[in-house]
Amino acid sequence: MLTFLCRRLMISGVLLFLISIVSFFIITLTPGSPYPWGELNPKITPQVKEAFRKKFHLDRPLIEQYWLNMRDLFSGSLKSIKDDRPVLQRIGERLPATVSLNVLAIFLSLSFGLLLGVYAAKNAGKLPDVLTSILAFVFIALPGFWISNLIVIGLVKFTNAPLLGTQTYGINFPDGLTLWLDRFWHIALPAMVLSIGGVAAQSRFIRASMIETLREDYIRTALAKGLAQETVFYKHALRNSVRPLITGIGGLLPGLIGGSIIIETIFAYPGLGRLGYEAVLERDYPTLVALNFIVAALVLLGNLISDVLYAVVDPRVRLE
Amino acid sequence: MVTDFQSPPTQPQAAIFSSPGRRVWQRFRHDKVGIAAAAIVALFFVIALVTGLCAWWGIYFPYDPNATDLALKLKPPSLAHWLGTDNLGRDVFSRMLNGSYISLTVGFIAVAVSLFIGVTIGAISGYLGGWADNVIMRVVDAILCFPTFFLILTAVALLGPNIINIIVVIGLVSWTGTARLVRAEFLTLRESEYVRAARTLGQRSLLIIFRHILPNAAAPIIVTAVLGIPEAILTEASLSFLGFGVQPPQATWGNIITDGKTYLLDAWWLIVFPGLAIFAAALSFYLAGDALRQASETRSEKK
Amino acid sequence: MTTPNLLEVRKLSIRFRTDGGFADAVNNVSFSLKEGASLAIVGESGSGKSVTALSLTRLLPEPPAEIVHGDIVFRGEQVLEMDLERLRAIRGGGIAYIFQEPSSSLNPVYSIRSQIAEAIRLHRPEVKDVDSEIVQCLAAVGILKPEQRMRDYPHQLSGGMQQRAMIAMALSCRPALLVADEPTTALDVTIQAQILNELKRVRTQFGMALILITHNIAIIGGLCDQLAVMFRGEIVEYGDTGSVLQNPQHPYTKALISCVPRLGSKEKRLKTIEYDWLQEA
């Protein structure tokens, strides 16, 4: 177990290094400048420009810039071009909101995906199966920005319910419980919209996995023992089918965080996605570099967690 | 009923002596959902082709998509303007027709780009194996850790949002799935008897790859390609929505929604119809692609 | 003729639905078995022997399989008319199976103990100490240190051990009939002999009837009193093992027997079956 963790951490380190290089060069090699003012603004003297370039190491060669960026990132002194605050602090403020949103979305994707997938597999080849599979593709094909806009505007127009941000502002909550309920209400809708694609993908996955498992020899053995169909289905087949699902959990994160950009923007939800979008608009290079790095680290962490979970479910896997 | 688990739908079995393409078609034919989806895909394709060509010659239907008329602004759907007009009095239906070829062009060409990169890299990785394979796969792992959409957004925003950049960036970012698939196919096919036979006969690697391996890996590659198209369409629409798609005045399905969302409380048609178009196009591609996958899969025959 | 038959199969026909129509798998097959008797069904792959075996407790997926006509009578009861509830009692409890591929026939995520316990709880609810019963069953099939082995997961056992565990699982239900569907095909030759010996031993020890399905006519000697040869879905020869082997009537049986290599024979080539010739015969 320990050796497994060590090896995985080492591989993750190498991957993170690759990732940092890729993201740094994608961001810095593209044309355009990161000045917070217009390129041709006459009021900015060359001296000011020079000072700015010096401050953000833009006068150095690229390799050195990369090194300085990484050094500053790890020492926490990497500052945002936009508001001069440490990048890590900006990200830290937004991280909990995004993590809770994504964890909830993963939970929703897995649980509803599992329900739909198992239902489809039980009725394989029959009408309910065809309908759920069409439903899954409907979910995948729904443009997230479109459906969330419709939901937001529809709810605002017809119910006037508060749903933007992480909680309702301007009112005093009588007690903690109401505050948490209010927060839950604010996170529930974006998480649901965010998980739509995941539900669909997971249900397809589970269905395929389930149908394949049902063809296994040990299913026949279980039936030959005289076990009830339900027992065979839910005990013998299901547990074998969810194994691949678990390894997929880590892989869900990149898509979800990508989706968060749009969902967070529409629901005015202060998470990393919106921070990233703002950083793109402002060409805030340090924030972009740091954000890519931290999100990738999150994804790697997710992968590691799902691998450990996998070993828990499957006795054949020993973490070495 | 005394039966146990229903076995999955039996695939229509075609004659044994027919080419793979024919076999796939004979199975596909029986899939009603797939046929309907493919028909809608074809319809979108024809619309995009016709309106794209007409736009090239300066012919627009039913109105000029960029002709503004403030007297007509924000009119609901009517006989004259089937899908209403936007805040500048432009005809939404004309704009959607005009935008259709953007979506499909991005979908097709971005997938072509990603297919080219993915197949090449996957083939190299799978055919060479060893440390080359290892290095390439670690790079793929690294890329898979990026939130793809964020990467695309960043690159397009920094490079400048125009159709070529969008296509290239989507293509450059989304090849990893194809590469993994092709690699896996190559790893198995490389060890197959007929490839060994070809190698024993002294055939050159390139010939082996193109004559013996690629054709046998074609079905799953084509399926991923078809399923990649709606993804690219959705990505382009999302980029458009965030303001980094193809820039106005050129209409795209995404930017009609962006322009319209300010007026949504009064003019629902500005957001509902273009969204439906994106949705319908993506859905029909997905369903057609999935039907194709089912038709091309030879079920593992067990004893 | 005084004791009623344990199992009687009469004119059983099974076909599979394909899109091109129907494929006949089993055609008018009849055989019977007394309590404690043993029968070998021999035939090549595709001859319908496994389909016949699985149909005894209706384990074939229906559709695509379809029982066209025939009777299966087990202990005087019509299997084909049973509801699922009754059928489940027969499966395992009356007729137990062991299959060809032990490595894939055991569920990888459950321990041997939990898989056997499942069977015991289902068919012998009166057993109080399930664990000691499992230990007994494992010991009966020659597994050493059964207390430890039963905590293992299937992947921790060798192929021969897995097949022993499968037999133990079958025994644990105290069935009247054990159906062994190619039980040794996936195993090494030395292990094959051991497994066949175990089968022989437990059969007498537990007084079970046995149906042994195999394509290998060489392994049935000494294990089965009766022999049925299946060819293209039909039983072409049926009788006492000794007399069939000594005096085969059907050309296919003769061909099968002549294919078994003999020690000390002077032939240069091993015989194969000439199907063209059989067709005409």
Of B3, B12, B13, the CB nearest to C62: B3
Residues 37-96 of B with CB under 8 A from A: none
Picking from C19, C44, C83 by the largest number of B CB atoms within 10 A of its own CB, the best residue to mutate is C19
The answer to whether B275 faces chain A, any CB pair under 8 Å, is: yes
- Is the CB of residue C18 less than 8 Å away from at least one CB of chain B? yes
Q: How much is the pLDDT for B12? A: 44
For residue A21, give both structure tokens.
């290089």
A226 and C101 within 8 Å at the Cβ level: the answer is no
pLDDT for res B298 = 61
Which of A15, A144, A147 lies at the smallest CB-CB distance from B141? A15
Q: Which one of A127, A134, A146 makes the best mutation probe of the B interface by having the most chain B beta carbons within 10 Å? A: A146
What is the structure's pLDDT at B303? 28
Q: Note whether B126 and B190 are within 8 A (CB).
A: yes
Q: Which of residues 229-268 of A touch B (CB under 8 A)?
A: 229, 233, 251, 253-259, 261-262, 265
Interface confidence, given as ipTM, is 0.83
Measured distance CA(A313)–CA(A304) in Å, rounded: 15
Phi first, then psi: give them for residue C39, nearest 5 degrees: -135, 135
Residues sharing a CB contact under 8 Å with residue C66, sequence separation 6 or more, in sequence order: C14, C15, C16, C17, C22
Confidence band for B284, pLDDT divided at 50, 70 and 90: very high
Average confidence score pLDDT of chain A = 81
Q: Looking at beta carbons, which residues of chain A come within 8 Å of C118?
A: 225, 227
- Alpha-carbon distance of C61 to A220, in angstroms, equals 10
Q: Tell me the shortest Cα–Cα distance from C10 to chain A, in angstroms.
A: 22
3-state secondary structure of C228: strand
Task: Report the range out of B286-290, C2-6, C173-177 with the highest average pLDDT.
Answer: B286-290
Q: Would you state the structure tokens that stand for residue B18, as one six-digit string?
A: 């027919």
**Which residues are CB-neighbours of C186 under 8 A, at least 6 positions away?**
C100, C101, C102, C103, C159
Cα–Cα distance between C12 and C80 in angstroms, integer? 11
User: Which of the residues A225, A229, A313, A317 would you substitute to probe the C interface, choosing the one with the greatest number of C C-beta atoms within 10 Å?
Assistant: A225
Given a cut of 90, is residue B128 above it in pLDDT?
no
Q: Which residues of chain A have pLDDT under 70?
A: 1, 30-44, 170, 315-320
Gap from C188 CA to chain A (nearest CA, Å) = 20
CA distance B145 to A300: 7
Taking 50 as the threshold, does the pLDDT of residue B3 lie above it? no
Q: Which positions in chain C touch A209 (Cβ < 8 Å)?
A: none
SS3 C214: strand
Contacts of B30 in chain A (CB under 8 A): none
Residues of B in contact with C87 (CB under 8 A): 2
pLDDT tens digits along C145-168: 888 888 888 888 888 888 888 888
Quick one: which of A182, A189, A154 has its CA closest to A267? Answer: A189
Using the predicted structure, report yes or no on whether residue B7 has a pLDDT greater than 60. Answer: no
Element containing residue B99 per DSSP (H, E): helix B92-128
Bond before C63 cis per omega within 30 degrees: yes
**Helix (H) / strand (E) containing C116:** helix C112-123
Q: Which of C87, C109, C113, C134 is the best mutation test for A, with the most CBs of A within 10 A?
A: C109
> Which of A26, A125, A143 is opposite residue B234, by nearest beta carbon?
A143
Phi then psi for residue A216, to 5 deg, are -70, 155
Which residues are registered as beta bridge partners of C95?
C91, C177
Of A28, A34, A106, the C-alpha closest to A70 is A28
**Cβ count within 10 A of residue A90:** 23
> Rounded to the nearest 10 degrees, what angle do helices A2-29 and B130-144 cross at?
70
> In the sheet where C65-74 sits, what is the strand order?
C21-33, C7-18, C65-74, C77-78
Per-window interface: B 154-193 vs A, CB < 8 A: 154-155, 157-160
Token readout for B61 is 């239907």
For C167-204, write each residue's pLDDT tens digit.
888 888 888 888 888 887 777 777 888 888 888 888 88
Q: Half-sphere exposure of residue C160, counting CA atoms within 13 Å on the CB side?
A: 15
Instruction: Say yes or no for a CB contact (<8 Å) between C96 and A224.
Output: yes
Tell me the percentage of chain C whose pLDDT exceeds 70. Answer: 91
Residue C221, helix vs strand vs coil: coil
Q: Do C109 and A239 touch (CB under 8 A)?
A: yes
Residues of chain C contacting A, Cβ within 8 Å: 54, 57, 59, 84, 88-93, 96-97, 99, 101, 104-111, 118-119, 122-123, 153, 155, 166, 169, 173
pLDDT of residue C231: 82
Spatial separation of the C-alpha atoms in residues A105 and A124, rounded to whole Å:
27
Residue of B nearest to A222 (CA): B4
Per the CB < 8 Å rule, is B159 touching A30?
A: yes
Cα separation of C157 and C146, whole Å?
Answer: 12
Compare B174 and A254 and report the one with higher pLDDT: B174
B7 contacts C61? CB cut-off 8 A: yes
pLDDT, chain C, mean: 80
Q: Are A203 and A134 within 8 A, CB to CB?
A: no
| Interval C77-120: pLDDT, tens | 887 888 888 888 888 888 888 888 888 888 888 888 888 888 88
The secondary structure of A99-134 as a DSSP string is: HHHHHHHHHHHHHHHHHHHHHHHHTTTSHHHHHHHH
8 A C-beta contact, residue A101 and residue A187: yes
pLDDT of residue C12 exceeding 50: yes
Verify whether the Cβ–Cβ distance C107 to A222 is below 8 Å.
Answer: yes
C17, β-bridge pairs: C22
Nearest-Cα residue of chain C relative to residue B11: C19
Chains meeting C at 3+ CB pairs closer than 8 A? A, B
A chain contacts of residue B271, beta-carbon cutoff 8 Å: 146, 149-150, 153
Q: Which three-class secondary structure state does DSSP give residue C82?
A: coil
pLDDT given at position B10: 43
Would you call A3 an interface residue with chain B, using a CB distance cutoff of 8 Å?
A: no
Chain C residues whose beta carbon lies within 8 Å of the beta carbon of residue B10: 17-19, 63-64
Q: Check CB contact under 8 Å for C19 and B4.
A: no
CB neighbourhood size of C257 (10 A): 17
Point out which residues pair with A39 in neighbouring strands: none
Nearest by Cα to A82 from A56, A54, A64, A49: A56
Question: Cis bond leading into A31, ω under 30°?
Answer: no
B136, pLDDT greater than 50: yes
Answer for the pair C151, C111: CB distance below 8 angstroms, yes or no. yes
Read off the tokens for B115: 């297919």
Size of interface A-B (CB pairs under 8 A): 159
User: How many residues are listed for chain A in this entry?
Assistant: 320
Considering only CA atoms, which of A313, A259, A264, A296 is closest in space to residue A109? A259
Per the CB < 8 A criterion, the answer to whether A257 and B154 are in contact is: no
Q: Categorize the per-residue pLDDT at B2 as very low, low, confident or very high, splitting at 50, 70 and 90.
A: very low
Give me the DSSP letters along chain A: -HHHHHHHHHHHHHHHHHHHHHHHHHHHHSSS---SS-TT-TTS-HHHHHHHHHHTTTTS-HHHHHHHHHHHHHHT--B-TTT-SBHHHHHHHHHHHHHHHHHHHHHHHHHHHHHHHHHHHHTTTSHHHHHHHHHHHHHHHS-HHHHHHHHHHHHHHHT----SSSS--SS--SSHHHHHHHHHHHHHHHHHHHHHHHHHHHHHHHHHHHHHHHTSHHHHHHHHTT--HHHIIIIIIHHHHHHHHHHHHHHHHHHHHHHHHHHHHHTT--SHHHHHHHHHHHT-HHHHHHHHHHHHHHHHHHHHHHHHHHHHH-TT----
Give the dihedral sign, CA B15/B300/A115/B38.
negative
Distance between CA C185 and CA C63 in Å, rounded?
A: 28
Which residue has tokens 């500048």? B88
Place of tokens 């890519």: A292
CB distance C99–A236 less than 8 Å? no
How far C81 CA sits from the closest chain B CA (Å)?
A: 9
- CA nearest B26 in C: which residue? C19
Phi then psi dihedrals of residue C63, to 5 deg: -70, 170
